Amino acid sequence: MRELPSNPDAPRDFESLVSEHRRGLKAFLLTIVQDYHLAEDILQESLSVVAERWAAGEVRDFWSFSREVVRRQALTAVRKMQNQPVSLSEEALESLQAAFETIGQDPDESRTLALRGCMQKLPHRWLKILNLRYWESNKINAIALKLNIHANVVSVTINRAKSRLADCVTTSLATRRVQS
């Protein structure tokens, strides 16, 4: 992604919005282009466009604006690939866009709270590995070197932690629904 313009408040706000909506935008893109690597490329290009507009103060609703930029970029990319026809009609794309509108409007706070609670239940070492991997963006081998353990141990720990967190969040949300 290109450097963001120099508005000091925009990059921090922009980054948190990207973090919050990246998954939804990627899912939206994958539905249109049906190619993971192409979707990632389009997402990066789209976020560059959104970043420029965001820094210029032209974006009021991040989710709607970024989704529309992603949609247009995806359609352009699909049309450029002459060997692959557009697999979705315009009506289908509009329906898809309408369905994805609800994702960005009301973030699920209960899922976030459940995840926080579940993370507190993980062993300290697992949390350290997850922190190094996802917060500090270290690669598996770099984590292994920092902690003086084998890279396979790091990979297995990350997979087990993610699995345990997924189970815990699902159980926690189900328990909350029953109690409500």
What is the tens place of the pLDDT at every residue in 161-180?
888 988 888 888 888 766 65
Rounded distance between C-alpha atoms, residue 20 and residue 63, angstroms: 10
3-state secondary structure of 6: coil
Residue 80 has pLDDT above 80, yes or no: no
Q: CB of 172 within 8 A of CB of 117?
A: yes
Comparing 3-12, 23-32, 43-52, 137-146, which segment has the lowest mean pLDDT?
Answer: 3-12
Residue 72 has pLDDT above 80, yes or no: yes
Residue 141 has pLDDT above 90, yes or no: yes
- Express as a percent the part of the chain with pLDDT over 70: 76
Question: What HEC string does 85-108 produce?
Answer: CCCCCHHHHHHHHHHHHHHHHCCC
The pLDDT value given to residue 85: 46
